């Protein structure tokens, strides 16, 4: 066993989809910044998007906050000891651990990285049904929303 593997993620609260994630041997500002950049590159969010996170030093870092400002995002962090802003991500971490990580023993970080990425990208986002989404997957819910939008 090689040691810890840290996972940072960004979740779309409307679709429940994990829209950006990154993994590394250390929990750094670069790690959370990488997850945020993947979310931005994938979804191209409109200015004014509210970005919820916890008060961890990585999220409070100047570089992370500068990226939020650069893309017109509004940071939202609950007061110390209050978990509301980060509750959806904490729920996802619990789901990931209960459905995958606690049932596995990874020999290498690379093995863990592959299986966790597959869980997020293939199973969680595209197959796992969410009661809040009418028992649809995040991808199916998002596709239905796009189809219902009036033509421009």
CATH number reported for the structural domain that contains residue 82 in this entry: 3.30.420.10
Domain that holds residue 106: 6-148
The verdict on residue 83 lying in a domain is yes
The pLDDT score that the predictor gives to residue 81 is 63
Which residues have C-beta within 8 Å of that of residue 75, sequence separation ≥ 6? 51, 53, 59, 65, 68
Task: With CA atoms as reference, report the closest residue to 123 among 98, 146, 99.
Answer: 99
Name residues of the chain where pLDDT drops below 50: none
Residue 56 is predicted with a pLDDT of 86
- Tell me, what DSSP letter sits at residue 149? S
Q: Enter the tokens of residue 142.
A: 């998002």
Q: In the block, which residue shows the tokens 């989404």?
A: 133
Residue 84: what pLDDT? 66
Is 55 inside any structural domain?
yes
Could you tell me if residue 28 is inside a domain?
Answer: yes
Residue 111: the pLDDT is: 96
1 within a domain of the structure (yes/no): no
Give domain status of residue 127, yes or no.
Answer: yes
**What CA dihedral angle connects 28, 30, 35 and 38, to 10 degrees?**
-170
Q: Is residue 139 part of a domain?
A: yes
Residue 44 domain-assigned (yes or no): yes
Report the candidate in 109, 99, 118, 140 with the shortest Cα–Cα distance to residue 15. Answer: 140
The count of structural domains within the chain is: 1
Cα separation, 60 vs 111, in Å, equals 31
pLDDT at 55: 84
What pLDDT, on a 0 to 100 scale, did the predictor assign at position 152? 64
pTM (2 d.p.): 0.91
In a domain, 108, yes or no: yes
| Residue 2: per-residue pLDDT | 85
């Amino acid at each position: 066993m090689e040691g810890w593997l840290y996972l940072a993620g960004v979740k779309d609260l409307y679709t429940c989809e994990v829209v950006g994630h990154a993994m590394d041997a250390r929990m750094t500002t670069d790690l959370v910044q990488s997850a945020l950049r993947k979310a931005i590159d994938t979804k191209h969010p409109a200015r004014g998007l509210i970005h919820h996170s916890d008060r961890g030093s990585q999220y409070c870092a100047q570089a992370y906050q500068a990226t939020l400002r650069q893309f017109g995002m509004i940071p939202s962090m609950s007061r110390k000891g209050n978990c509301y802003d980060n509750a959806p991500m904490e729920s996802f971490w619990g789901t990931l651990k209960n459905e995958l990580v606690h049932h596995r023993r990874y020999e290498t970080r690379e093995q863990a990285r592959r299986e966790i990425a597959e869980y997020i990208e293939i199973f969680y986002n595209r197959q796992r049904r969410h009661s809040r989404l009418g028992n649809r997957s995040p991808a199916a819910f998002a596709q239905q929303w796009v189809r219902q939008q009036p033509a421009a």
